[in-house]
Structure 1
Amino acid sequence: MKHAYVFPGQGSQFPGMGKNLYDSNPKAKELFEKANEILGFRISDVMFTGTEEDLKQTKVTQPAVFLHSVIAFLCAEPAAKPDMVAGHSLGEFSALVANGTLTFEDALRLVFIRATAMQKACELQPSTMAAVLALDDAKVEEICAAVSAETGEVVVAANYNCPGQLVISGSVKGIEVACERMKAAGAKRALVLPVGGAFHSPLMSPAKEELKAAIDKTTFSVPTCPVYQNVVAKAVNDPAEIKQNLIDQLTGAVRWTQSVQAMVADGATTFTEVGPGKVLQGLVVKIQKDAVVNGIN
């Protein structure tokens, strides 16, 4: 009976996020102020009083979700003691603070570099993502491959969120064609998402070099418990492997379904989501019906 801690990614943000933490906990206040200093702007003000629109910019969203998650984890009472950790996309950086691989400060710097590099990559080519519901994973992959081969556009399976829920990523034209075909193949829905780019696809390649350079300069410690990383969907303890998987994650798929299945196979019975929202709690239950789920936010 092991306890897994999981951390959400982009899309979980909401206006006012983290304010209760800041107001009620001196340690949280100190960490938010340290973050403002590291980033060179008052991200806490954007989180507490900004609009939904303000929070949507990738370079704000990613550090905001990271801060909410990590500060909630570090201020948890009684102290959180994970047997294993995982994070959805950006949430992987939060997970790496939770298991001692990265310091709070180093992880925040990496998240900001990643977010800025991804935003730049998004601006290079019009690209987007779409959610495909109630279609077999293999069928989704097959259609993506066919559309890419026939049109020369980029279309890939990007987020394996839970059985029957997969997000595809690619060029605007490629995604449009793929969505039509997904519906024709029997998908309940194939819905273009309001995102600014094709995350977890080859179109994020321009961001890779910048992130790699920053990761190479950062100290990664041996973790206190394994992290189940998105691109490999299995337990990883080796700092060099963790680094490489983080770099590969920018252009690789988020294998969330497979990661949760691997955690369950390795003994996880309870999953605690730490951070804004309850998205991962919902996904975990869809992947493993009898898992005990709860949240710290």
Structure 2
Amino acid sequence: MVAWLFPGQGSQYVGMMQGLVERFPQARQRLQEAEELLGYQLGRICFEGPEELLRQTRYTQPALFVHSAIVAELVREHLQRDAVAGHSLGEYSALYAAGVLEFADALRLVALRGELMFAAGQQLPGAMAAVIGMPAQEVERLCAELAQELGRVLVVANYNSPEQVVISGEVEAVQQALERLRAAGARSVIPLPVSGAFHSPLMEPAREQLAQAIRETAFRRAQVPIYSNALAEPLTEPDAIQRALIAQLTAPVRWLQILQRMYAGGVRSFYELGPGRVLQGLVKRTLTGVTIAGIDTAEDVERVRAQSVVQ
């Protein structure tokens, strides 16, 4: 069985999508459609940067979605898919690839999500950090202790692999957690360049407005199961997908559990559709005896089309 995976924030890079748009008229058309809907030149930000601009969540999220959606369209007829999942923002790309959302509807939600998360980050400033080489339960325990001591928000936001979790919370709490986690034996603790405490209660100001927009958007039954970030369970029904997507903003991303559930369900080939190689790395560190590949550039798409591995 084959799973399509879609990356989230942190996978963007200056020059992303450019080769696809130059090579495939279909990609050029999609980007044009996206720019009309967004009201700004997304292509220029993706192709030319600067990186600081592309890194702003209000631009990063539409950029990642459009890139991944284009790749999904270009390989749809050439690559088997039995299940899909996306990391955080990537869940929206996965919903598009599974036929749950129309392109324009998904992009509207993604653009709104980016704006709301940016605003929430301004309203309730937060930070995030990756913690490597410490068991998740130990990180959870230390975060809970420190949160209680300080009276601040501090939670585990992503369960990425057996070796890596991400913490999220108020700036002071995350800064103190860096010291405490290092002292407690974490191999590495790396602050992340993000504009808010994503997947934590600090995103609550964004949740209600996004929830309303999600409820007002037409969701269809998924053509293949989509493994939800919040539940790590395969969903196909529109109502269940909407509820899980609303929960996603303030709940942890259970990526490790998603990969384990997919593997238990028979998935042995994983393709990352979109920019970068982050998810390929997480699969590699989580599962053995599986095939892992990425489809990011025009060359990658050409290779998949040449092999045309539809079963």
TM-based fold match above 0.5:
yes
CA distance, structure 2, for counterparts of residue 117 and residue 80 of structure 1: 35
The residue type equivalent to 2:150 in the other structure is: T
Moved more, 12-21 or 69-78: 69-78
User: Deviations 1:125-154 (Å, cap 9, x if unpaired)?
Assistant: 221001111001100000111111111110
Deviation at 1:78, TM superposition (A): 4.5
CA distance in 2, matches of 1:124, 1:246: 22
**Percent of pairs identical after alignment?**
47
**Structure 1: which amino acid aligns with 2:169?**
G
- Following superposition, the deviation at residue 227 of structure 1 comes to 0.3
Q: In 1, Cα distance between the equivalents of 2:124 and 2:220?
A: 36
User: Residues 266-281 of structure 1 correspond to what in structure 2 (within 5 A)?
Assistant: 266-281=265-280
TM-score, with structure 2 as normaliser:
0.93
Which residue does 1:153 correspond to in 2? 152
Pairwise CA distance, 1:203: 0.2
Whichever residue aligns with residue 145 of structure 1, its letter is: A
Deviation at 1:79, TM superposition (A): 3.1
The aligned amino acid for 2:26 is K
Per-residue deviation at 1:51?
1.3
Counterpart of 1:97 in structure 2 is 96
- Distance in 2 of aligned mates of 1:28 and 1:192: 35
- Counterpart of 1:176 in structure 2 is 175
Cα distance in 1, alignment partners of residues 242 and 125 from structure 2: 29
Find the counterpart in structure 1 of residue 41 from structure 2: 42
Q: Which residue of the partner structure matches residue 72 of structure 1?
A: 71
Provide the C-alpha distance between the structure 2 equivalents of 1:110 and 1:95, rounded to a whole number of angstroms.
Answer: 13
The Cα shift of 1:81 comes to: 3.3
Distance 1:72 1:38 in 2: 19
CA–CA distance in structure 2, aligned partners of residues 208 and 81 of structure 1: 34
CA-to-partner distance for each residue in 1:23-42, whole Å, 9 max, x for gaps?
A: 11011111100000111111
Structure 2 counterpart of 1:83: 82
Quick one: distance in 2 between partners of 1:176 and 1:53?
A: 22
1:121 aligns with 2:132: no
1:226-237 alignment to 2 at 5 Å? 226-237=225-236
Q: Deviations over 1:217-257 (max 9, x none)?
A: 10000010000011101111111111111111100000100
Cα shift readout 1:253-286 (whole Å, capped 9, x = no counterpart) = 0010000000000110000000000110110011
Q: Per the alignment, in what secondary structure is the counterpart of residue 75 of structure 1? A: helix
User: Which residue of 2 is the match for residue 7 of structure 1?
Assistant: 6
**Per-residue deviation at 1:77?**
6.8
Whole-angstrom distance in 2 between the partners of 1:191 and 1:286? 18
Secondary structure at the counterpart of residue 245 of structure 1: helix
Q: How far, CA to CA, are the matches of 2:33 and 2:254 in structure 1?
A: 33
Which amino acid in structure 2 is aligned with residue 130 of structure 1?
A: A
Q: Deviations over 1:27-79 (max 9, x none)?
A: 11111000001111111111112211110111000000111111011012743
Q: CA separation in 1, counterparts of 2:90 and 2:14?
A: 19
Could you list the per-position Cα deviations for residues 161-210 of structure 1 after superposition, in whole angstroms to 9, with x for gaps in the alignment? 10111100000111112222211211011222221110000000000011
SS at match of 2:11: coil
Q: Which stretch has the larger CA shift, 237-246 or 190-199?
A: 190-199
Counting matched residue pairs gives 296
The DSSP-based 3-state class of the residue aligned with 2:268 is: strand
Who is 2:306 aligned against?
none
Read off the aligned partner of 2:119 and give its amino acid letter.
K
Distance in 1 (alpha carbons) for counterparts of 2:282 and 2:261: 14
Does 1:219 find its partner at 2:191?
no
In the alignment, the residues of structure 2 paired with residue 256 and residue 241 of structure 1 have an alpha-carbon distance, to the nearest angstrom, of 18
How far, CA to CA, are the matches of 1:15 and 1:132 in structure 2? 26
Superposed, 1:179-194 pairs within 5 Å as 179-194=178-193
Q: Distance in 2 between matches of 1:126 and 1:105?
A: 30
What is the Cα deviation at residue 16 of structure 1?
Answer: 1.1
Matched residue of 2:81: which SS? coil
How many angstroms apart in 2 are the aligned matches of 1:243 and 1:78? 27
The gaps in structure 1 that reach 5 residues or longer are none
- Determine helix, strand or coil for the equivalent of 1:122: helix
Separation in structure 2 between the aligned mates of residue 189 and residue 56 of structure 1, nearest angstrom: 23
User: Secondary structure of 1:79's match?
Assistant: coil
Could you tell me which residue of structure 1 aligns to residue 305 of structure 2?
none
CA–CA distance in 2 between the matches of 1:77 and 1:266?
22
The aligned counterpart of 1:248 is 247
Whole-angstrom CA distance in 2 between matches of 1:78 and 1:175: 45
Structure 2 match to 1:130: 129
Gaps of 5+ in 2: 297-311
How far has the Cα of 1:10 moved from its partner?
A: 0.6
TM-score (norm 1): 0.98
